[in-house]
Amino acid sequence: MSTDTDASSTLALGEINKYDFRTNTPSVFKARRGLDRDIVSQISEMKQEPTWMRDFRLKSLDIFNSKPMPKWGGDIGIDFQDIFYYLKPAEKQGKTWEEVPEEIKKTFDRLGIPEAERKFLSGVKAQFESEVVYGSLAEDLAKKGVIFTDTDTAVREHPDLLKEYFGSIIPPTDNKFAALNSAVWSGGSFIYVPKGVSIEFPLQAYFRINAESMGQFERTLIIVDEGAHVHYVEGCTAPMYSTESLHSAVVEIVVKKHGRCRYTTIQNWANNIYNLVTKRALAYEGAMMEWIDGNLGSHLTMKYPAVYMMEPGARGEILSIAFATAGQHQDAGAKLVHAAPNTSGRIVSKSISKNGGRSSYRGLVRVEPGAKKSRSSVVCDALILDDISRSDTYPYIEIEEQDVSIGHEASVSKIGEEQLFYLMSRGLTEAEASTMIVGGFIEPLVKELPMEYAVEMNRLIELQMEGSVG
Amino acid sequence: MSERLEIKNLHVAVEDQEILKGVDLAIGRGEVHALMGPNGSGKSTLGYAIMGHPSYEVTNGSVELIDADGTRHDILAMEPDLRARAGVFLAFQRPMAIPGVRLADFLRHSVTNIRNPDRKEGQELMPMRDFRGELKSKMQDLSIDTEFARRYVNDGFSGGEMKRAEILQLAMLRPQFAILDETDSGLDADAVRLASESIARIGGAEMGILIITHHEQLLEHNIPLQTHVMLGGRIVESGGPELAAELHKQGYDRIRKAYPEAAAAEEAMEAERRLETTTS
Ligand SMILES: Nc1ncnc2c1ncn2[C@@H]1O[C@H](COP(=O)(O)OP(=O)(O)OP(=O)(O)O)[C@@H](O)[C@H]1O
Ligand SMILES: [Mg+2]
């Protein structure tokens, strides 16, 4: 927050949760509950996919079935047969909002997407359940050869790029949920930024789950060619149901020589969502990859965005904020792999736990043999707001090279009685004071966001802070 | 508008150790009182207890605001924020750093709540334009660079900067009763003079002020109606401005001799503290 922005927006307490609403949207097609070869084939058929993709899906299903649950992270109490894996909400994708079915359009209106699009975005994809229902891209960018489509369309229209990269950065064998996504994936964004093209305003995707017991498995692939630049933003929300839903995305990114990619996530899942996501980027010579990850909500989030620095001079940064409140476990972290000399990485993780919430930082910094003069720094700070909440840190460091510099700092603090008293002695209520202290705690990360997202992030934190004092 | 802040027989304990042992003090609107006393005698404790610091437990006595019509408001029953909204202000001896929170954002919130004591959480803040204009002019009065408003509250402030920021808050919040706890310490000679003038200007005839100090300079433009001396958790003597001058020049020997009981309490408190530091 700078003094130039309106601070009233950061402390708008007492507002209703604008994300928790359901719309009554008839689906065009809904696969039956459960997961087997028939369902996977059916999804592929619905999408009229080429054989290679169908085979990829079926092979992935086998891998999923053969893999054990991850041993780290939280308790994953999902019954995989109790979930709907594919739900098609609309006949076709709209190129204008008028072409989007009324109820779905209203949903995105309420979430402020068309407005944001008009104001400050270069392009938008809006996914509702399993499919992208709206897509746009600024005309000048399309002319320069920028591709921004949903991944299903990309399979049909850009088979060469897809065959080269899809599943190459995160193969289905990577982990059980990567395998699951590979089998039943639907939607997600495909972005290609040609050589030297710099996209000034962000491209944004918005993922909305609306139905109960739903699984959302978007698949995103971003290719930033040499010297190109893109900022991609994703937002995710869902209304609250009593049964679990599953969100399990795979995001693969390649940033070529001297390219730059920034991937910002601001998610605010309902408390019944299992959010198990695999995100990985490869950064080549002199390239820069940044993950900015805001994790709010969900029952359990397990997410560790990774940057593999493949060639000299590559840089990777992972900045994350996790907020865990009652009934939530945020197992979030980061992974940096130095696979070449002179690469540099930075991890900054901030977590907040309150009302019995649990947040864990789980991170890995790995320096491969020969990655001389690599530098990495890890800073993770945890703020615990009360005695019933919990925070853990699991930092792993693997260094197979002498000539490197790796720093790690961790701190855990409780919200200070002295700080609260100071602010309250100036007329702030206890809730306002805690919200302000928490806002200050994450400020160093929030200020890295474009203004609109900083405001959104602060608003979400306030929503989480409501009723924090009891 | 309250006419008096009245403290009666105030006993305060920290972690079950009694620090204040019956303090009586009344400050009227427009009056300046000075509070002096050796280190550890309980001056800051009095400020904290009046403001409602949760570590300072009031075990006996009362603190009340009294309106012109005689209505009494029990300050001790209020949370610190309500005390602030009722018009009480404490300039901290050691202000707390709030990393990541900009002074301007914090102050705007604070000013809004205090000027509008019935404001509910989430209601609109003072309009940005008005706030900024006012903040800027107050900062200029105090020779504070306006860039300072963008810094995080007390985070990495120098000793002097912290005290200036406290005076700035005093100027913006315009309380009815202010306790200034060593607001002069850490300021250079010019800054103390400016602070003294500023406080006099801010206070005027409207504000009751208790100045806690070891020096005289702040009192130059804020001539105390009374100077009080605290020793061993009690106010043992009260006098005019000449008392401040005497204590500043000659120290507390005369006082200790004149009030052996309070001096003994001071000794005992010190002994207990030494014991604590050696055992913990
Ligand atoms: N939070 C606390 N925890 C433990 N002891 C405390 C605390 N606050 C005050 N005390 C003790 O109470 C006594 C009075 O302290 P206080 O800070 O009120 O003194 P003071 O008169 O303001 O001194 P100074 O002139 O040095 O500022 C001291 O013995 C001090 O150690
Ligand atoms: Mg003191």
Percent of all residues in chain A with a pLDDT value above 90, rounded to a whole number: 72
Q: What's the gap in Å between B231 CA and the centre of ligand 1?
A: 12
CB pairs under 8 A between A and B: 114
Selected residue of B89, B109, B113, B154 to mutate for chain A interface (largest A Cβ count, 10 A): B109
Q: What's the gap in Å between B215 CA and the centre of ligand 1?
A: 19
Q: What's the gap in Å between B40 CA and the centre of ligand 1?
A: 5
Report yes or no: B175 at the A interface, CB cutoff 8 Å.
Answer: no
**Closest residue to A15, CB basis, from B96, B122, B132:** B122
- For the segment A447-465, the average pLDDT, to the nearest whole number, is 84
Q: What's the gap in Å between B279 CA and the centre of ligand 1?
A: 19
What is the tens place of the pLDDT at every residue in B202-229?
Answer: 998 899 999 999 988 888 889 899 999 9
Q: To the nearest whole number, what is the mean pLDDT of chain A?
A: 90
pLDDT score of A25: 77
pLDDT score of B280: 52
Percent of all residues in chain B with a pLDDT value above 90, rounded to a whole number: 81
A430 contact residues in B (CB cutoff 8 A): 79, 81
- For residues A377-414, one letter each, b for 16 or more C-beta atoms within 10 angstroms of the residue's C-beta and e for the rest, the string is bbbbbbbbbbeebebebebeeebeeeebebeeeeeeee
* Confidence band, pLDDT 50/70/90 cuts, at residue B72: very high
Report yes or no: B109 at the A interface, CB cutoff 8 Å.
Answer: yes
pLDDT score of A12: 31
B108 contact residues in A (CB cutoff 8 A): 7
* Confidence band, pLDDT 50/70/90 cuts, at residue A451: confident
In this structure, are residues B228 and B25 in contact, taking their beta carbons and an 8 Å threshold?
A: yes
- For the segment A222-243, the average pLDDT, to the nearest whole number, is 91
Percent of all residues in chain B with a pLDDT value above 70, rounded to a whole number: 99
* Confidence band, pLDDT 50/70/90 cuts, at residue B279: low
**Closest residue to A437, CB basis, from B83, B98, B113:** B98
What is the tens place of the pLDDT at every residue in A124-175?
Answer: 999 999 999 999 999 999 999 999 999 999 999 999 999 999 999 999 999 9
* Residue contact A421–B128, C-beta within 8 A: no
**Domain regions of chain B by residue span:** 224-242+254-280
| Minimum Cα–Cα distance from A435: chain B residue | B101
- For the segment A181-208, the average pLDDT, to the nearest whole number, is 95
**Residue A469 in this model has a pLDDT that exceeds 60:** no
pLDDT score of A3: 33
Least confidently predicted of A238-242, A383-387, B7-11, B274-278: B274-278
* Residue contact A427–B95, C-beta within 8 A: no
- For the segment B163-192, the average pLDDT, to the nearest whole number, is 95
Task: Spell out which residues line ligand 1, taking CB within 6 angstroms.
Answer: B 14-15, 19, 37, 39-45, 55, 93, 269, 273
pLDDT score of A5: 33
**Closest residue to B99, CB basis, from A7, A430, A440:** A440
What is the tens place of the pLDDT at every residue in A41-79?
Answer: 999 999 999 999 999 999 999 999 999 988 888 888 889
Three-state secondary structure of chain A: CCCCCCHHHCCCCCCCCCCCCCCCCCCCEECCECCCHHHHHHHHHHCCCCHHHHHHHHHHHHHHHHCCCCCCCCCCCCCHHHCECCEECCCCCECCHHHCCHHHHHHHHHCCHHHHHHHHCCEEEEEECCEEEEEEECHHHHHCCCEEEEHHHHHHHCHHHHHHHCCCCCCCCCCHHHHHHHHHCCCCEEEEECCCCECCCCEEEEEECCCCCEEECCEEEEEECCCCEEEEEEEEECCCCCCCEEECCEEEEEECCCCEEEEEEEEEECCCEEEEEEEEEEECCCCEEEEEEEEEECCEEEECCEEEECCCCCEEEEEEEEEECCCCEEEEEEEEEECCCCCEEEEEEEEEECCCCEEEEEEEEEECCCCCCCEEEEEEEEEECCCCCEEEEEEEEEECCCCCEEEEEEEEEECCHHHHHHHHCCCCCHHHHHHHHHHHHHHHHHCCCCHHHHHHHHHHHHHHHCCCCC
Q: Please, which residues have CB less than 5 A from ligand 2, an ion?
A: B 43-44, 93
* CB atoms closer than 10 angstroms to residue A12: 18
Report yes or no: B96 at the A interface, CB cutoff 8 Å.
Answer: yes
Looking at the CA of residue B182, tell me the nearest atom of ligand 1: 27
B131 contact residues in A (CB cutoff 8 A): none
CA A98, A100, A103, A108 torsion-angle sign: negative
* Residue contact B80–A424, C-beta within 8 A: yes
* Residue contact B105–A7, C-beta within 8 A: yes
pLDDT score of B221: 87
* Residue contact A419–B98, C-beta within 8 A: yes
**Domain regions of chain A by residue span:** 29-303, 422-470
What is the tens place of the pLDDT at every residue in B33-67?
Answer: 999 999 999 999 999 999 999 999 999 999 999 99
- For the segment A392-398, the average pLDDT, to the nearest whole number, is 93
B121 contact residues in A (CB cutoff 8 A): 13-14, 429, 431-432
- For the segment A426-447, the average pLDDT, to the nearest whole number, is 92
Mutate to test the pocket of ligand 1, among B39, B46, B90, B184 (most ligand atoms within 8 A of CB): B39
* Residue contact B106–A436, C-beta within 8 A: yes
What is the tens place of the pLDDT at every residue in A73-119?
Answer: 888 888 999 999 999 998 889 999 999 999 899 889 888 899 989 98
Report yes or no: B17 at the A interface, CB cutoff 8 Å.
Answer: no
- Whose CA is closest to atom 8 on ligand 1? B45
* Residue contact A441–B53, C-beta within 8 A: no
**Residue A40 in this model has a pLDDT that exceeds 60:** yes
Distance set, CA A127 to CA A79, A91, A122, A437, B181 (Å): 24, 13, 17, 35, 58
* Residue contact A416–B96, C-beta within 8 A: yes
Report yes or no: B174 at the A interface, CB cutoff 8 Å.
Answer: no
- How near does any CA of chain B get to the CA of A351, in Å? 15
What is the tens place of the pLDDT at every residue in A304-341?
Answer: 999 999 999 999 999 999 999 999 999 999 999 999 99
pLDDT score of A18: 65
What amino acid occupies position A189?
A: S
B44 contact residues in A (CB cutoff 8 A): none
Q: To the nearest whole number, what is the mean pLDDT of chain B?
A: 93
- How near does any CA of chain A get to the CA of B131, in Å? 11
What is the tens place of the pLDDT at every residue in A328-376?
Answer: 999 999 999 999 999 999 999 999 999 999 999 999 999 999 999 999 9
Report yes or no: B194 at the A interface, CB cutoff 8 Å.
Answer: no
pLDDT score of A341: 97
* Residue contact B106–A443, C-beta within 8 A: no
Report yes or no: B83 at the A interface, CB cutoff 8 Å.
Answer: yes
**Residue A470 in this model has a pLDDT that exceeds 80:** no
